[in-house]
Structure 1
Amino acid sequence: MKVLGHLTAMPELPEALKGLRKLAYNLWWSWNPEAAELFQEINPQLWKRFRGNPVKLLLEVDPPRLEVLTATSYPARVQAVVAALDSYLKDRERKEGPLVAYFSAEYGFHSSLPIYSGGLGVLAGDHIKAASDLGLNLVGVGIFYHEGYFHQRLSPEGVQVEVYETLHPEELPLLPVQDQEGHPVRVGLEFPGRTVWLGAYRVQVGAVPVYLLTANLPENTPEDRAITARLYAPGLETRIQQEMVLGIGGVRLLRALGLNPQVFHMNEGHSAFLGLERIRELVAEGHPFPVALELAKAGALFTTHTPVPAGHDTFPLDLVGRYLHGFWERMGTDWEGFVALGLEEKPWGKVFSMSNLALRTSAQAGGVSRLHGEVSREMFHHLWPGLLREEVPIGHITNGVHTWTFLHPRLRRHYAEVFGPDWLRRPEDPATWKVEGLGEEFWRIHRDLRADLVREVRLRLYEQRRRNGESPSRLRQAERVLDPEALTVGFARRFATYKRAVLLFKDPERLLKLLQGPYPVQFVFAGKAHPKDEPGKAYLQELVAKIKEYGLEDRMVVLEDYDMYLARVLVHGSDVWLNTPRRPMEASGTSGMKAALNGVLNLSVLDGWWAEAYNGKNGFAIGDDRVYENEEAQDMADAQALYDVLEGEVLPLFYAKGPEGYSSGWLSMVHESLRTVGPRFSAARMVGEYLRLYRQGQVWAESARGHERVLQAFHRAFPAFYTLGLRAEAPGDLTLNGEPVQVRAYVEGEIPEALRPFLEVQLVVRRSGGGLELIPMTQGEGGRYAVSYRPSRPGSYAYGVRLALKHPITHRVEWVRWA
């Protein structure tokens, strides 16, 4: 058959069930069990087959089935859930905070919309959901990848095969973005020798709209239509094209929709080109480049997720020059000024760093855990020469997870009964987690969820082996793997080498001794390696090979095609959540937070979020906070610590069961985990902290708009700052016995009037055990400054004197000259 096109016949729902369409096109249903259960009840088999996609379900279900449902109590339930959605939206009509545009290259909202690869996307999805719950004035911007991210198939040897499927927007909860006349919105993007046209789809996530850009339009050539085909498609050229679509195209789409956000939030550096587009807009308004840069920075926020330098996108300068040719003139600068915004010096030469660009065009920046904030300040210290490491303006907001997305519905209902109604309204409030009331019923639910996990593992493993053409005996074995009553350890995450999925096999003799001991224990692994990550793929093969080599296939299972659906099954049904990154390479990690919500205990290296969550009573730590210079030594030390804690703590505690059928000591630890992790590591808490930054960005943006003359004068005078000299007079090394130290300094040179309000001479004191003091020195005549300083407590101190220049809008020290 010669195909002329494709038709989609939208379903005609019975009048009593028309509310299902409204529910299907708002992802609010995905974190409200009563809504999800309505769709599942229509046809459980289709629901699972379509990965919980209600739009596809309504397209494919037999109309007679819907008619049957109209004769039951089903329509009344539909009406009740639709009323709950309407009430939810009405309560959020009055928005909190400034209008924020949240940009992310990927979003993990639900497994039925596979435009995410892993933690970054799921975190973005949780951010949007929590912003909706909190009523924030926020819109999302991303890309609709019409082939999504790959589905993973594993050969019997553990070889990863990537399979892509075409996603049809009409079969997804997506609506084309149109103008007021009903015409599709189009924005143009200048590429070398041509214009690429972009359209968009809107996905409604509770009260928050998210706009997903697409180049898959008839107006474009087949090559350009493929730009937005696959998430993280290989090749630098495709990557820079996608990041221009997201950053520059995203800003242009917002403008076409009449949206003028006061704050732009970049979730990782993929969208950093938005800073260039905003500068171009401001220059077009008549502002000179330095002022336009400051105006753009004031309302911009950058969240970095990557503690590994190689994980930050960089492009060759010639590629940037080819794709953005002429852009710098429209920004009011030259090639050198343009490149300086993203310049990074590598051992092999100069490149354009998207993270550097994001930092140089954002007034606020942060990592995703306390430890990651420290690592990021060290990593990017070179962008603020002269500042002390702890002064580098990169903070942190530790990640959190969307409680209602990852908590099993049965536990949600049980917690609501035990904790009371306040918990449902304020899951980020520690006072609402009244965990002491959890006991036998909680454990009964947990055992059921572990049994559900075992059933799911057997079904998936059977299908995996059947598809690979394995023998009937191997298929029968798949139906018997794992024990529903044994302690079950889950390990599921991206297969990158630093996450060390094979750490358990570092000392095979110890591992076998553990598995042959008196306490039954079993492991379920899942995770994808990036298609171009050959070492990660090799790790996956090594894990499968070692499991076979030591005859552990009934106790250790590796599942394929890890996604949000499988992640939920694993965090719901495991007893222990294992995490073995090589410290300090885990920026945050969130899977352990999801597991903890469901009463699963964490067993993890003290890295990322667990470094600040672990208190000795709410889970288990692998090793300590030491970092070995030699990776092999680190791996061996961590492996031995892992065996020790499994053998000496985890297994004995779990199996110390009383007459009620569970270990009271284990349950006490679960209580402590829920009490400490549940509220603190929730997306509601996380987004609440971001709201404070959004409001700060709004203040700075408005201040910058009101002080453009000051900014212009400041930048004109700024070069003179580096012509100033600073001399200091101090006694050098000194032992104090209660008396103060006297320090004097002299500024040499002519201080421009525009810099005077922002200039400060400071005594800088650092205590050897930690702690930093910045003491302004008192100005006298003739450029003289003095201060008398006495430490507030005993100890060893280092001190120095510097000339500090504060930013005219943020009032942070950003430029210094040391005496």
Structure 2
Amino acid sequence: MDTLQQKLQKLTRNLWWTWRPEVRAIFRDLDLDIYHKAHRNPVRVLKEITPALLEKRADEVDIATRTDRALRQLNEYLNPLTTWGMIHAGSLQSRPVAYFCAEFGIHESLPIYSGGLGILAGDHLKGASNLGVPLVGVGLMYHRGYTTQLLDASFWQQDVSEPFELDDLPVYPAIGADGKPARVSVELPGRLVWAKVLECHVGRIRLILLDTRDDANSEEDKALAANLYGGDNRMRIQQELLLGVGGSRALRALGITPSVIHLNEGHSAFAILEWARHRVQQDGMEPWAAIAEAASGTVFTTHTPVEAGHDKFPADLAEEHLRALAEGLRLPLHDVLGLGRTNPGDLGSAFLPTVLALKHCRRANGVSALHGKVARSMWQHLWPTRSEHDVPIGHITNGVHVPSWLSSELNTLMTTHLGVNWMEGIVRPDLWTKIAAIDPAEIWEIKKVLKGRMLKLVRERQTAMRARQGLPPLDPAPLDPDALTIGFARRFVPYKRPDLLFTDLDRLDALVNNPQRPVNLIFAGRAHPADGPGKALIQKVGQLTADPRFRNRILFVENYNIHIGRNLYQGVDAWLNNPQRPLEACGTSGMKVVMNGGLHISVLDGWWAEAYDGENGFAIGNGEIHASSEVQDKRDADALFRLLEEKVVPMYYRQDANGVPRPWIHAIQRSMRTLAWRFNADRMVMDYVRNCYLPAAVAASCQMPNP
């Protein structure tokens, strides 16, 4: 019989625990200090707790019984009698979807993500797991992670690399068909680069990760996949070849033959060429027929309407790196390079993986209705004979994995009012009508608890940052718990305009320091390590927090990650999103706030353009765009101030005799009732299955080589 330690170790081996608060609580209750010092990582908790303390805590908080219950629930989850996927995606059971992405945000203890793309990919895997959709994730193991953000005394972002040990993660060598740990090689200029194939389990989903720390590699190549989005163009194209080509070979080494490959952004587009190359080499297919087959089985999601967000590799760099693939395809190199060029005949032009993916896929989509429209306009030149309306790029609006982001308090509330199995019916609009019957006072009490917990965390982070900077703690403590608290957290780049409210500091002063109706503003976010303008925006916000007028009303929370985000989404009263329209492809953070009883304040961009109904949140402006971005910024800044001054703040402070802001809570109820059923990962994955995966799987199976 397994010991308690062995049973706990079994629980850690599947990242199912990341969305099961009752399982995380087992490890938290073993020792709270160890839990937080281990970054809420159960694997490290078990490594660091002593046998004596484990035995003591097991008796005090009933660890053994709770662990047995969790293992039983995990086993039932992994071996269901039926799932949505068994019924609706049965044709994918024998040949699953291969979901390629450069980053995956599953949990803060697995730091192979940088921001929204990775967190969306993590939610996609979790959604597919819950639905039982046959899918396997493919990515890279960045053994130095992304970076840790530290702000110096001038509030300039410092990027610190903090390597982690595989032994601290539920990641293990993947075993190939020969019974040995799998490894694959990829041809790069002048050498082969080898990668170990690792895997971890995200509920019912396998996530395959390539690690270049192979003994056959040079020290330089061992570091090839050390950092996410690190290095120059040469390192970037080599990482992308490793992901697309190496990832495809890893699947074959594990005996996995996908019916569909889903490319989540262009970083993995080389998987298309590897599919075709394999068919040419192994099955004797004619090259163009093999490329057509690969295209028919490919689904492509583009995530950014910002041109700078799409990789462009100079012609000479692309020639150097695609030569081996061209030889494997038995095609002239210029023909292969033309697959990724806007104008195939322009031999000196750059190679764009996004172009390769868009022109060679069965289905392409943006991540919101507005983004789909923007993408069709942005890429129309690839189909010059078609009208913008007929450009073959659709949309599937993103959604979030609710169990990963929902507070346990609100989960309990939903279970009470919506039913024990409410999450199984999360996509049903009728289920959410029950929200209207909940007493506003009940929601208000929960929001006060969540806000208090969030404020405790951000104050602790602020104190730690100031101590490192050589500054004393703020006195009095910043952020009044009774004040309207608005959050803003995302990647810091100019088009997201984190400083929009700073265009009129006197007006901002009057807004946040109104003695009867004060406002707190909490900022968090990172800039890419090479993004000077983004770092300057962080510094601008940070320095404003040192201004005596704003010292106790505005805070910047350092080192934004999944843990910080989860607490902000749960605790804020409202969420601010004010990008330059239409440059926000989707923006899922606001969805997480809605699920946790907060209201969204946003420009009509991304998902909010299709979600806002006039009463389920707040819109900045009316969606019109001025030809001058400078004029638009001034217009939007004024609209935001007026919205806060005339609508948002008055509604929040319109409280009854018991201190309950009933109009505010009614807006929350409408927000959840109209939005929660739509903007979740279950609906998103269902849309991909119906509109993309099944059509692509059928199309690929019908492709035949030319006679």
| Secondary structure of 1:139's aligned partner | strand
1:322 Cα offset (Å): 1.1
| Secondary structure of 2:351's aligned partner | strand
How far apart, in 1, do the equivalents of 2:65 and 2:545 lie? 52
Deviations 1:547-570 (A, max 9, x none): 434631110001110000000110
What's the counterpart of residue 789 of structure 1?
A: none
* Residues 121-270 of structure 1 aligned to structure 2 (within 5 Å): 121-179=118-176, 182-270=179-267
| Secondary structure of 2:542's aligned partner | helix
1:569 aligns with 2:558: no
What's the counterpart of residue 83 of structure 1?
A: 72
How far apart, in 1, do the equivalents of 2:497 and 2:551 lie? 20
* Residues 296-445 of structure 1 aligned to structure 2 (within 5 Å): 296-344=294-342, 350-433=349-432, 434-438=434-438, 439-445=440-446
CA, structure 1 residues 370+194, in 2 after alignment: closer, same or farther (shift >3 Å)? same
How far apart, in 2, do the equivalents of 1:428 and 1:129 lie? 15
Conservation of the 8 A alpha-carbon contact between 1:14 and 1:67: no
Conservation of the 8 A alpha-carbon contact between 1:373 and 1:396: yes
CA, structure 1 residues 92+103, in 2 after alignment: closer, same or farther (shift >3 Å)? farther
CA, structure 1 residues 92+177, in 2 after alignment: closer, same or farther (shift >3 Å)? farther
1:206 Cα offset (Å): 0.2
| Secondary structure of 1:91's aligned partner | coil
Deviations 1:461-517 (A, max 9, x none): 1100111112xxx3143x611111111000000001100000001122322222233
Deviations 1:327-360 (A, max 9, x none): 2132132122111110136999610001001112
Match for 1:427: what amino acid?
I
How far apart, in 2, do the equivalents of 1:368 and 1:111 lie? 24
Match for 1:107: what amino acid?
F
Deviations 1:621-680 (A, max 9, x none): 001111112111011000000000100001111001002321111111000111112110
What's the counterpart of residue 289 of structure 1?
A: 287
Match for 1:101: what amino acid?
A
Deviations 1:17-54 (A, max 9, x none): 53211210111111011111111111111111111111
Aligned CA RMSD, in angstroms, stands at 1.7
How far apart, in 1, do the equivalents of 2:289 and 2:474 lie? 70
Q: Equivalent of 2:275, from 270, 274, 278?
A: 278
Give 5+ residue unaligned stretches, structure 1: 1-12, 713-819
How far apart, in 2, do the equivalents of 1:460 and 1:585 lie? 31
1:494 aligns with 2:483: no
Give 1 or 2: higher strand fraction. Answer: 1
How far apart, in 1, do the equivalents of 2:153 and 2:302 lie? 37
CA, structure 1 residues 326+76, in 2 after alignment: closer, same or farther (shift >3 Å)? closer
1:421 Cα offset (Å): 2.6
Conservation of the 8 A alpha-carbon contact between 1:146 and 1:167: yes
1:64 aligns with 2:61: no
Conservation of the 8 A alpha-carbon contact between 1:489 and 1:577: yes
| Secondary structure of 1:18's aligned partner | helix
What's the counterpart of residue 482 of structure 1?
A: 479
How far apart, in 2, do the equivalents of 1:348 and 1:513 lie? 59
How far apart, in 2, do the equivalents of 1:424 and 1:336 lie? 52
* Residues 457-536 of structure 1 aligned to structure 2 (within 5 Å): 457-470=458-471, 474-477=472-475, 480-517=477-514, 518-536=516-534
How far apart, in 2, do the equivalents of 1:318 and 1:554 lie? 54
Deviations 1:543-599 (A, max 9, x none): 222343463111000111000000011011100100010000000000000000000
1:62 Cα offset (Å): 1.1
CA, structure 1 residues 487+121, in 2 after alignment: closer, same or farther (shift >3 Å)? same
* Residues 701-740 of structure 1 aligned to structure 2 (within 5 Å): 701-705=700-704, 708-709=705-706
Q: Equivalent of 1:43, from 31, 44, 47?
A: 31
1:182 Cα offset (Å): 4.5
| Secondary structure of 2:581's aligned partner | coil
How far apart, in 1, do the equivalents of 2:595 and 2:5 lie? 34
Match for 2:459: what amino acid?
R
1:63 Cα offset (Å): 1.1
Question: Which structure has more RCO (C-alpha within 8 Å, separation ≥ 6)?
Answer: 2
Conservation of the 8 A alpha-carbon contact between 2:487 and 2:523: yes
What's the counterpart of residue 74 of structure 1?
A: 63
| Secondary structure of 1:109's aligned partner | coil
How far apart, in 1, do the equivalents of 2:363 and 2:11 lie? 37
1:173 Cα offset (Å): 1.2
Match for 2:449: what amino acid?
D
Conservation of the 8 A alpha-carbon contact between 1:403 and 1:427: no
What's the counterpart of residue 639 of structure 2?
A: 641
What's the counterpart of residue 780 of structure 1?
A: none
How far apart, in 1, do the equivalents of 2:324 and 2:648 lie? 62
When normalised by structure 1's length, the TM-score is 0.83
Number of corresponding residues: 692
Conservation of the 8 A alpha-carbon contact between 1:92 and 1:207: no
How far apart, in 1, do the equivalents of 2:347 and 2:586 lie? 30
| Secondary structure of 1:162's aligned partner | strand
How far apart, in 2, do the equivalents of 1:120 and 1:562 lie? 15
Conservation of the 8 A alpha-carbon contact between 1:104 and 1:267: yes
1:171 Cα offset (Å): 0.9
* Residues 566-645 of structure 1 aligned to structure 2 (within 5 Å): 566-645=564-643
Match for 1:47: what amino acid?
Y
1:69 Cα offset (Å): 3.6
| Secondary structure of 2:187's aligned partner | strand
1:674 aligns with 2:672: yes
* Residues 78-117 of structure 1 aligned to structure 2 (within 5 Å): 78-91=67-80, 96=86, 97=89, 98=92, 99-117=96-114
Conservation of the 8 A alpha-carbon contact between 1:306 and 1:587: yes
How far apart, in 1, do the equivalents of 2:331 and 2:81 lie? 43
| Secondary structure of 2:703's aligned partner | helix
Match for 1:523: what amino acid?
L
How far apart, in 1, do the equivalents of 2:267 and 2:310 lie? 9
| Secondary structure of 1:136's aligned partner | coil
Deviations 1:245-275 (A, max 9, x none): 1000000000111111000000000000101
Structure showing greater Rg = 1
| Secondary structure of 1:344's aligned partner | coil
Q: Equivalent of 1:654, from 645, 652, 655?
A: 652
Could you list the runs of 4 or more consecutive aligned residues of structure 1 that deviate by over 4 angstroms after TM superposition? 92-95, 345-349
Conservation of the 8 A alpha-carbon contact between 2:602 and 2:619: yes
What's the counterpart of residue 8 of structure 2?
A: 20
CA, structure 1 residues 413+290, in 2 after alignment: closer, same or farther (shift >3 Å)? same
| Secondary structure of 2:462's aligned partner | helix
Conservation of the 8 A alpha-carbon contact between 1:92 and 1:135: no
1:422 Cα offset (Å): 4.2
